[in-house]
Structure formats: structure tokens, C-alpha cells
Amino acid sequence: MDHEKSDRIRGMFNSIAGNYDKLNRLMSFGRDKAWRRYVIDLADLKDGKSLLDVATGTGDIIIEAVRRNKNISAAGIDFSESMLKVARRRINIKNVRLINADALSIPFNDSSFDVVTSGFLMRNVQNIPEAFTEQYRVLRPGGVVICMDTTPPENKISTPFINLYFNIVIPFLARIISGNSSAYSYLVESMRNFKSADELKNIMEKTGFTEVTYRKFMLGTIAVHSGKRP
């Protein structure tokens, strides 16, 4: 693992934590809330079930899950302590644990959770198969994994407009709101160079997940994958 790159990414997320939610809403035109609602629809968390949200950031996925059903237990991990500080201010619920930890070394025993989610994690990890292997390990047999992330658009007609938005609009918004356009320039590059939805599906299947499917949003630039541990 490239520890220098990992430390650089962690520092970047620490630097934008205070404005992360505001920028996400603006950049997605508020649609990121709908994508997270879809993630929790897929999770279908009943009373007594357990959720792990990997790279939980400021806690949006957990907040939506607990809003739906307060009779679940949930944990979130993130390697950015600044992101977790924001999450802890937003989430003050007894049955939710928030832990500073790496997605490649999840600090829970095997078969601990019924559902494992992640939002915009995989494009930032150094080893995607290893990250999925860790999620597979902590899932109970029959459990569900759900991964939301960016994906390169396949519609060539919309590509110039998407590139304009990524290259001009996002850095502009980041500079105005956070004063840190370089951090969002990194995020744009990570989006552009990330796996296609089919490539990510293949990685999940090679990890051992079954019934892997995905659905795309926002002109094909966002994909939500789901699969099961047999």
C-alpha cells in the first residue's frame, strides 16, 4: 500500500470536512440524498439488524438508516478524524458507533454485520479487491453489500457537458465555498479514472459476492452496486 498517497488523501478529506456536505449538495444538485435513500432501500434493515458504513464521512448513510428504523444497530468507520468529528456532532444516538479506522483493515470480527454500505469509498482506496474482501469478511452469510460510487459515463453525447461540469464548475464551487479547489481537483481526477460499473461488478464477483447488480444515476455518472455473501 502507498502510505504516502493514503496520508495525502486523508489530509485532503480532513481539510474539506467542514464544507463537505454543503459542496456535495451543490455538486449533485441535491440528488445525493436520493441516492442514499436508494442505498437504504436496498439495505432493507429490519428491527434488530446491524449496519456497517465504511468510509462513513459525515454520517449521511447512517443518518438515513436510523431515520428509517431506530431499532437497528449501526457502526461507521472512516480514516479521516475530521470527517468523524462532523459525524459525531450530527449523530448522537446510543446504538451508533463511529470509529477512526481504515477500510482495508476493518476493526470488527468476521460475520459481524447484516449489511455493509459504502459511499464514494472505492475510488479512494489503494486496493479495491482488498477493500471488498474486508467487507465480505465482516458480513454474515446471506448479508448484503451496497457500494455507491462514481462511474465513467457511457453516453458519448453527454460526455463534453459532464467534462465541463467536472473541470470548470466543481473547482469553481470548491474555491468559492471551501477555498480548497485543489482537493476537489483530486476528486474530479479520481472520478475520471475510476472503474466502469461492469469492472466493479466483476471485482465484486471475484471477491465472492453473488447476485451482483447495479443501477446508474445522474446521466450515468453514479452507480449503486449491490451483492450478497452466500
The answer to whether residue 138 sits within a structural domain is yes
The answer to whether residue 175 sits within a structural domain is no
pTM for this one?
Answer: 0.87
Please report the pLDDT score of residue 121 as a whole number.
Answer: 94
The answer to whether residue 178 sits within a structural domain is no
Q: What are the tens digits of pLDDT across the range 89-102?
A: 999 888 899 999 99
**Contact, 146 vs 42, CB < 8 A?**
yes
Q: Which of 33-42, 65-74, 105-114, 189-198 has the lowest mean pLDDT?
A: 189-198
Please report the pLDDT score of residue 85 as a whole number.
Answer: 95
pLDDT surpasses 80 at 150: yes
The answer to whether residue 164 sits within a structural domain is no
The answer to whether residue 97 sits within a structural domain is yes
Q: What are the tens digits of pLDDT across the range 56-99?
A: 999 999 999 999 999 999 999 999 999 999 999 999 888 899 99
Please report the pLDDT score of residue 3 as a whole number.
Answer: 62
The mean per-residue pLDDT over the stretch 111-138 comes to: 96
Expressed as residue numbers, the domain containing 121 is 3-152+195-228
The answer to whether residue 15 sits within a structural domain is yes
The mean per-residue pLDDT over the stretch 106-127 comes to: 96
Instruction: Residue 92: give its domain's CATH number.
Output: 3.40.50.150
**Contact, 76 vs 59, CB < 8 A?**
yes
The answer to whether residue 37 sits within a structural domain is yes
Domain count of the chain?
A: 1
The answer to whether residue 187 sits within a structural domain is no
**CA pair distance 12, 177, nearest whole angstrom:** 15
The mean per-residue pLDDT over the stretch 139-146 comes to: 98
**Strands of the sheet with 210-217, listed across from one edge:** 96-100, 73-78, 50-54, 113-119, 139-150, 222-228, 210-217
